[in-house]
Amino acid sequence: MIGLFRIKSISNIVCLVAIAALGIVFAPWEVEAKSYQWKISQGIAEDHPAAARCKQFAKLLEEKSKNRIKMNYFPSGALGDWMEQIEANRMGTLEFGLNAGSTSYDPRTNLIFMPYLFATWDEARAGIGSKGWLTPIFDELYSSIGLKVLGIYLNAWDGMAFTKRVDKVVKVPVDFKGIKMRVPPIRIFEVYIPTLGFISTPIPYSETFTALQTGIVDARSACPAVEAYVMRDALNYWVATRDAFEYWFLTINKKLWDGLSAEDHKLLTEAADIVMNDQALAAEKDEVDFKKKLEAAGVKVHEVAKEEWETSAKVVREKAWPKIQEELLGSVLMDKVKKHATKISK
Protein backbone atom coordinates (compact mmCIF):
# COMPACT_ATOMS: atom_id res chain seq x y z
CA MET A 1 0.00 0.00 0.00
CA ILE A 2 2.84 2.35 0.89
CA GLY A 3 4.52 1.63 -2.47
CA LEU A 4 1.29 2.24 -4.33
CA PHE A 5 0.81 5.52 -2.44
CA ARG A 6 4.33 6.59 -3.40
CA ILE A 7 3.71 5.77 -7.05
CA LYS A 8 0.49 7.76 -7.04
CA SER A 9 2.21 10.69 -5.32
CA ILE A 10 5.02 10.67 -7.85
CA SER A 11 2.46 10.48 -10.67
CA ASN A 12 0.57 13.45 -9.20
CA ILE A 13 3.78 15.47 -8.91
CA VAL A 14 4.71 14.65 -12.51
CA CYS A 15 1.24 15.75 -13.67
CA LEU A 16 1.47 18.99 -11.72
CA VAL A 17 4.92 19.72 -13.15
CA ALA A 18 3.64 18.98 -16.65
CA ILE A 19 0.63 21.25 -16.20
CA ALA A 20 2.82 24.04 -14.86
CA ALA A 21 5.19 23.63 -17.79
CA LEU A 22 2.31 23.82 -20.21
CA GLY A 23 1.14 26.97 -18.47
CA ILE A 24 4.57 28.54 -18.89
CA VAL A 25 4.64 27.61 -22.57
CA PHE A 26 1.09 28.57 -23.47
CA ALA A 27 0.15 31.47 -21.17
CA PRO A 28 2.11 34.18 -23.07
CA TRP A 29 0.89 32.78 -26.39
CA GLU A 30 -2.71 33.11 -25.25
CA VAL A 31 -2.12 36.81 -24.45
CA GLU A 32 -0.31 37.48 -27.73
CA ALA A 33 -2.93 35.64 -29.74
CA LYS A 34 -5.84 37.74 -28.49
CA SER A 35 -8.01 39.00 -31.34
CA TYR A 36 -9.26 42.57 -31.77
CA GLN A 37 -11.82 44.44 -33.85
CA TRP A 38 -10.89 48.14 -33.96
CA LYS A 39 -12.04 51.33 -35.72
CA ILE A 40 -9.84 53.87 -37.48
CA SER A 41 -10.86 57.16 -39.09
CA GLN A 42 -9.70 60.57 -40.26
CA GLY A 43 -11.68 63.80 -40.34
CA ILE A 44 -10.56 65.37 -43.63
CA ALA A 45 -11.99 64.96 -47.13
CA GLU A 46 -12.09 61.40 -48.44
CA ASP A 47 -9.82 62.26 -51.39
CA HIS A 48 -7.11 63.45 -48.98
CA PRO A 49 -4.02 61.17 -48.69
CA ALA A 50 -4.91 60.61 -45.02
CA ALA A 51 -7.72 58.31 -46.12
CA ALA A 52 -5.31 56.09 -48.07
CA ARG A 53 -2.89 56.03 -45.12
CA CYS A 54 -5.63 54.86 -42.75
CA LYS A 55 -6.46 52.03 -45.12
CA GLN A 56 -2.79 51.16 -45.57
CA PHE A 57 -2.29 50.98 -41.79
CA ALA A 58 -5.38 48.80 -41.37
CA LYS A 59 -4.23 46.41 -44.11
CA LEU A 60 -0.72 46.15 -42.67
CA LEU A 61 -2.02 45.29 -39.21
CA GLU A 62 -4.32 42.61 -40.55
CA GLU A 63 -1.50 41.09 -42.58
CA LYS A 64 1.15 41.28 -39.86
CA SER A 65 -1.21 39.84 -37.23
CA LYS A 66 -2.46 37.15 -39.64
CA ASN A 67 -5.99 38.56 -39.35
CA ARG A 68 -5.88 38.54 -35.56
CA ILE A 69 -6.34 42.30 -35.62
CA LYS A 70 -9.20 43.58 -37.76
CA MET A 71 -9.49 47.28 -38.58
CA ASN A 72 -12.67 48.92 -39.84
CA TYR A 73 -12.05 52.20 -41.67
CA PHE A 74 -14.75 54.86 -41.33
CA PRO A 75 -14.76 57.50 -44.09
CA SER A 76 -14.35 61.20 -43.42
CA GLY A 77 -17.32 62.70 -41.62
CA ALA A 78 -18.88 59.37 -40.66
CA LEU A 79 -17.65 59.80 -37.08
CA GLY A 80 -17.69 63.59 -36.98
CA ASP A 81 -15.17 66.25 -37.95
CA TRP A 82 -11.52 66.03 -36.95
CA MET A 83 -12.01 67.65 -33.53
CA GLU A 84 -14.91 65.34 -32.71
CA GLN A 85 -12.78 62.40 -33.76
CA ILE A 86 -9.91 63.49 -31.51
CA GLU A 87 -12.36 63.64 -28.59
CA ALA A 88 -13.76 60.19 -29.46
CA ASN A 89 -10.21 58.84 -29.67
CA ARG A 90 -9.46 60.27 -26.23
CA MET A 91 -12.60 58.69 -24.77
CA GLY A 92 -11.94 55.34 -26.43
CA THR A 93 -15.07 55.12 -28.58
CA LEU A 94 -12.71 55.48 -31.56
CA GLU A 95 -9.64 53.33 -31.05
CA PHE A 96 -7.42 54.90 -33.74
CA GLY A 97 -7.37 58.30 -35.42
CA LEU A 98 -5.28 60.05 -38.06
CA ASN A 99 -5.97 63.74 -37.69
CA ALA A 100 -4.49 67.21 -37.60
CA GLY A 101 -3.04 68.16 -34.25
CA SER A 102 -5.07 70.22 -31.81
CA THR A 103 -3.67 73.02 -29.66
CA SER A 104 -6.81 73.18 -27.51
CA TYR A 105 -5.70 70.86 -24.71
CA ASP A 106 -2.19 72.06 -23.90
CA PRO A 107 -0.45 75.28 -25.02
CA ARG A 108 2.77 73.33 -25.58
CA THR A 109 1.13 71.53 -28.51
CA ASN A 110 1.56 74.78 -30.45
CA LEU A 111 4.87 73.10 -31.26
CA ILE A 112 2.90 71.56 -34.14
CA PHE A 113 3.36 74.86 -36.01
CA MET A 114 6.76 75.93 -34.68
CA PRO A 115 7.97 78.63 -37.12
CA TYR A 116 11.29 78.37 -38.90
CA LEU A 117 12.25 75.13 -37.19
CA PHE A 118 13.28 73.23 -40.33
CA ALA A 119 14.36 74.29 -43.80
CA THR A 120 14.43 70.99 -45.72
CA TRP A 121 12.38 67.83 -46.21
CA ASP A 122 15.22 65.69 -44.89
CA GLU A 123 15.28 67.66 -41.63
CA ALA A 124 11.51 67.31 -41.25
CA ARG A 125 11.67 63.56 -41.92
CA ALA A 126 14.46 63.11 -39.36
CA GLY A 127 12.13 64.20 -36.58
CA ILE A 128 9.42 61.59 -37.11
CA GLY A 129 9.09 57.82 -36.73
CA SER A 130 9.61 55.77 -33.60
CA LYS A 131 13.27 56.87 -33.53
CA GLY A 132 12.68 60.54 -34.40
CA TRP A 133 13.29 63.23 -31.79
CA LEU A 134 9.83 64.79 -32.19
CA THR A 135 7.88 61.59 -31.59
CA PRO A 136 8.58 61.18 -27.85
CA ILE A 137 7.88 64.88 -27.29
CA PHE A 138 4.46 64.77 -28.91
CA ASP A 139 3.76 61.40 -27.31
CA GLU A 140 4.36 62.88 -23.87
CA LEU A 141 2.12 65.88 -24.64
CA TYR A 142 -0.69 63.74 -26.01
CA SER A 143 -0.44 61.15 -23.23
CA SER A 144 -1.71 63.79 -20.84
CA ILE A 145 -4.99 63.93 -22.77
CA GLY A 146 -5.40 60.18 -23.14
CA LEU A 147 -3.71 59.51 -26.48
CA LYS A 148 -0.63 57.54 -27.52
CA VAL A 149 1.20 58.90 -30.58
CA LEU A 150 2.10 56.00 -32.85
CA GLY A 151 3.39 58.15 -35.67
CA ILE A 152 3.82 61.68 -36.97
CA TYR A 153 2.20 62.29 -40.34
CA LEU A 154 4.02 64.85 -42.48
CA ASN A 155 1.20 66.72 -44.16
CA ALA A 156 2.81 69.67 -45.94
CA TRP A 157 5.03 72.71 -45.72
CA ASP A 158 3.18 75.96 -45.19
CA GLY A 159 3.54 78.70 -47.76
CA MET A 160 1.99 82.13 -48.24
CA ALA A 161 -0.58 82.93 -50.93
CA PHE A 162 -1.14 86.46 -52.26
CA THR A 163 -3.94 88.16 -54.16
CA LYS A 164 -3.58 90.75 -56.93
CA ARG A 165 -3.70 93.49 -54.30
CA VAL A 166 -0.06 92.65 -53.57
CA ASP A 167 1.38 93.87 -56.86
CA LYS A 168 4.96 92.64 -56.39
CA VAL A 169 6.48 89.35 -55.28
CA VAL A 170 7.41 89.53 -51.60
CA LYS A 171 9.72 87.06 -49.86
CA VAL A 172 11.47 88.84 -46.97
CA PRO A 173 10.33 90.93 -43.99
CA VAL A 174 11.36 94.28 -45.46
CA ASP A 175 8.70 93.72 -48.15
CA PHE A 176 5.95 92.39 -45.87
CA LYS A 177 5.06 95.61 -44.10
CA GLY A 178 1.47 96.74 -44.47
CA ILE A 179 0.17 93.52 -46.08
CA LYS A 180 -3.02 92.28 -44.42
CA MET A 181 -2.32 88.62 -43.75
CA ARG A 182 -4.89 86.01 -42.76
CA VAL A 183 -3.68 83.75 -39.96
CA PRO A 184 -5.48 80.76 -38.42
CA PRO A 185 -7.01 81.53 -35.01
CA ILE A 186 -4.13 79.64 -33.38
CA ARG A 187 -1.96 81.48 -30.92
CA ILE A 188 1.48 80.65 -32.33
CA PHE A 189 0.56 82.19 -35.71
CA GLU A 190 -0.80 85.28 -33.98
CA VAL A 191 2.59 85.60 -32.25
CA TYR A 192 5.04 85.15 -35.11
CA ILE A 193 3.31 86.47 -38.24
CA PRO A 194 3.29 90.11 -36.99
CA THR A 195 7.02 89.93 -36.22
CA LEU A 196 7.59 89.50 -39.98
CA GLY A 197 5.88 92.83 -40.61
CA PHE A 198 2.40 91.68 -41.67
CA ILE A 199 -0.86 93.09 -40.35
CA SER A 200 -2.17 89.91 -38.76
CA THR A 201 -5.88 89.07 -39.08
CA PRO A 202 -7.17 85.82 -37.50
CA ILE A 203 -9.85 84.24 -39.72
CA PRO A 204 -11.28 80.67 -39.60
CA TYR A 205 -10.48 78.47 -42.57
CA SER A 206 -14.12 78.34 -43.68
CA GLU A 207 -14.18 82.15 -44.12
CA THR A 208 -10.75 82.56 -45.70
CA PHE A 209 -11.69 82.28 -49.38
CA THR A 210 -14.34 85.00 -49.05
CA ALA A 211 -11.92 87.20 -47.07
CA LEU A 212 -9.39 86.93 -49.90
CA GLN A 213 -11.99 87.71 -52.55
CA THR A 214 -13.52 90.71 -50.79
CA GLY A 215 -10.28 92.35 -49.65
CA ILE A 216 -10.64 91.77 -45.92
CA VAL A 217 -7.12 90.36 -46.26
CA ASP A 218 -4.52 90.61 -49.02
CA ALA A 219 -2.96 87.20 -48.42
CA ARG A 220 -3.10 84.07 -46.32
CA SER A 221 -0.47 82.24 -44.30
CA ALA A 222 -0.57 78.59 -43.17
CA CYS A 223 -1.15 77.74 -46.81
CA PRO A 224 0.26 74.49 -48.22
CA ALA A 225 0.37 74.21 -52.01
CA VAL A 226 -2.73 71.98 -52.01
CA GLU A 227 -4.78 74.62 -50.16
CA ALA A 228 -3.52 77.35 -52.48
CA TYR A 229 -4.81 75.22 -55.34
CA VAL A 230 -8.21 74.90 -53.68
CA MET A 231 -8.40 78.71 -53.40
CA ARG A 232 -6.68 79.42 -56.74
CA ASP A 233 -9.53 81.57 -58.09
CA ALA A 234 -8.78 84.22 -55.45
CA LEU A 235 -5.00 84.15 -55.81
CA ASN A 236 -2.30 85.72 -57.95
CA TYR A 237 0.82 83.91 -56.71
CA TRP A 238 2.07 81.53 -54.04
CA VAL A 239 5.44 81.60 -52.25
CA ALA A 240 7.00 78.43 -50.82
CA THR A 241 8.11 80.21 -47.64
CA ARG A 242 8.48 77.03 -45.57
CA ASP A 243 7.84 79.08 -42.47
CA ALA A 244 6.10 76.20 -40.68
CA PHE A 245 5.33 72.53 -41.19
CA GLU A 246 1.94 70.94 -40.63
CA TYR A 247 2.11 67.73 -38.60
CA TRP A 248 -0.75 65.32 -38.12
CA PHE A 249 -0.77 62.34 -35.80
CA LEU A 250 -1.64 58.67 -35.91
CA THR A 251 -2.93 57.99 -32.41
CA ILE A 252 -4.37 55.16 -30.35
CA ASN A 253 -6.39 55.51 -27.17
CA LYS A 254 -3.86 55.48 -24.31
CA LYS A 255 -5.78 53.07 -22.05
CA LEU A 256 -6.13 50.64 -24.94
CA TRP A 257 -2.39 50.89 -25.64
CA ASP A 258 -1.49 50.31 -22.00
CA GLY A 259 -3.53 47.09 -21.97
CA LEU A 260 -1.83 45.55 -24.99
CA SER A 261 1.02 43.06 -24.98
CA ALA A 262 4.63 43.94 -25.78
CA GLU A 263 4.28 41.97 -29.00
CA ASP A 264 1.28 44.04 -30.08
CA HIS A 265 3.14 47.24 -29.18
CA LYS A 266 5.93 46.15 -31.50
CA LEU A 267 3.50 45.22 -34.27
CA LEU A 268 1.66 48.56 -34.08
CA THR A 269 4.87 50.58 -33.95
CA GLU A 270 6.39 48.82 -36.95
CA ALA A 271 3.24 49.25 -39.03
CA ALA A 272 3.03 52.93 -38.08
CA ASP A 273 6.66 53.50 -39.05
CA ILE A 274 6.06 52.02 -42.50
CA VAL A 275 2.97 54.14 -43.14
CA MET A 276 4.44 57.38 -41.81
CA ASN A 277 7.67 56.88 -43.76
CA ASP A 278 5.71 56.27 -46.96
CA GLN A 279 3.72 59.43 -46.30
CA ALA A 280 6.85 61.47 -45.60
CA LEU A 281 8.17 60.59 -49.05
CA ALA A 282 4.83 60.99 -50.80
CA ALA A 283 4.20 64.42 -49.25
CA GLU A 284 7.23 65.87 -51.01
CA LYS A 285 6.01 64.49 -54.33
CA ASP A 286 2.49 65.82 -53.67
CA GLU A 287 3.91 69.30 -53.10
CA VAL A 288 5.70 69.17 -56.45
CA ASP A 289 2.52 68.01 -58.16
CA PHE A 290 0.40 70.80 -56.68
CA LYS A 291 2.98 73.42 -57.60
CA LYS A 292 2.58 72.28 -61.20
CA LYS A 293 -1.19 72.42 -60.88
CA LEU A 294 -1.00 75.96 -59.51
CA GLU A 295 1.13 77.10 -62.43
CA ALA A 296 -1.25 75.42 -64.90
CA ALA A 297 -4.15 77.26 -63.23
CA GLY A 298 -2.42 80.63 -63.66
CA VAL A 299 -1.15 81.03 -60.08
CA LYS A 300 2.58 81.76 -60.17
CA VAL A 301 4.81 79.74 -57.84
CA HIS A 302 7.91 81.31 -56.30
CA GLU A 303 10.62 79.53 -54.32
CA VAL A 304 12.56 81.05 -51.44
CA ALA A 305 16.35 80.94 -51.58
CA LYS A 306 18.35 79.81 -48.55
CA GLU A 307 19.43 83.37 -47.81
CA GLU A 308 15.83 84.62 -47.97
CA TRP A 309 14.64 81.82 -45.66
CA GLU A 310 17.39 82.63 -43.19
CA THR A 311 16.56 86.35 -43.28
CA SER A 312 12.99 85.63 -42.15
CA ALA A 313 14.10 82.92 -39.74
CA LYS A 314 16.49 85.29 -37.96
CA VAL A 315 13.72 87.83 -37.42
CA VAL A 316 11.25 85.25 -36.08
CA ARG A 317 13.79 83.51 -33.87
CA GLU A 318 14.91 86.82 -32.40
CA LYS A 319 11.49 88.42 -31.92
CA ALA A 320 8.93 85.63 -31.73
CA TRP A 321 10.71 82.63 -30.23
CA PRO A 322 11.21 84.25 -26.78
CA LYS A 323 7.50 85.02 -26.58
CA ILE A 324 6.61 81.52 -27.82
CA GLN A 325 8.83 80.09 -25.09
CA GLU A 326 7.34 82.27 -22.35
CA GLU A 327 3.70 82.02 -23.39
CA LEU A 328 3.37 78.58 -24.97
CA LEU A 329 6.22 76.05 -24.86
CA GLY A 330 8.20 76.70 -21.70
CA SER A 331 11.98 76.63 -21.36
CA VAL A 332 12.45 72.84 -21.18
CA LEU A 333 10.64 72.17 -24.45
CA MET A 334 12.18 75.22 -26.12
CA ASP A 335 15.67 73.95 -25.30
CA LYS A 336 14.90 70.74 -27.20
CA VAL A 337 13.60 72.76 -30.15
CA LYS A 338 16.72 74.90 -30.29
CA LYS A 339 18.94 71.81 -30.17
CA HIS A 340 17.38 70.37 -33.34
CA ALA A 341 16.53 73.56 -35.24
CA THR A 342 18.14 74.25 -38.61
CA LYS A 343 21.43 76.06 -38.14
CA ILE A 344 21.50 79.59 -39.57
CA SER A 345 24.57 81.13 -41.12
CA LYS A 346 26.22 83.77 -38.96
| Residues 225 and 318 grouped into a single domain | yes
Same domain (yes/no): 76, 124: yes
Whether residue 185 contacts residue 203, with contact meaning beta carbons closer than 8 Å, is answered with yes
Rounded to the nearest 5 degrees, what angle is found at the Cα of 269, between the Cα atoms of 75 and 249? Answer: 45
Of the listed ranges 8-22, 28-42, 108-122, 196-210, the one predicted with least confidence = 8-22
In a domain, 25, yes or no: no
Return the higher-pLDDT residue of 271 and 8.
Answer: 271
| Per-residue pLDDT tens over the stretch 280-310 | 999 999 999 999 999 999 999 999 999 999 9
CA–CA distance from 322 to each of 202, 203, 244, 331 (Å)?
21, 25, 17, 9
27 within some domain: no
pLDDT of residue 19: 44
Nearest-10 Cα torsion for 288, 206, 191, 302:
30
| pLDDT over 50 at 138, yes or no | yes
CA 159, CA 218: separation in Å to the nearest integer? 14
User: Which CATH number belongs to the domain containing residue 163 in this structure?
Assistant: 3.40.190.170
Distances (CA, A) of 317 to 208, 240, 241: 27, 19, 15
Range(s) of the domain holding residue 46: 36-155+246-287
User: Quick one: 283 and 261 in the same domain?
Assistant: yes
The tally of domains found in the chain comes to 2
- 81 and 166 share one domain: no
pLDDT, one tens digit per residue, over 303-345 is: 999 999 999 999 999 999 999 999 999 999 999 999 999 999 8
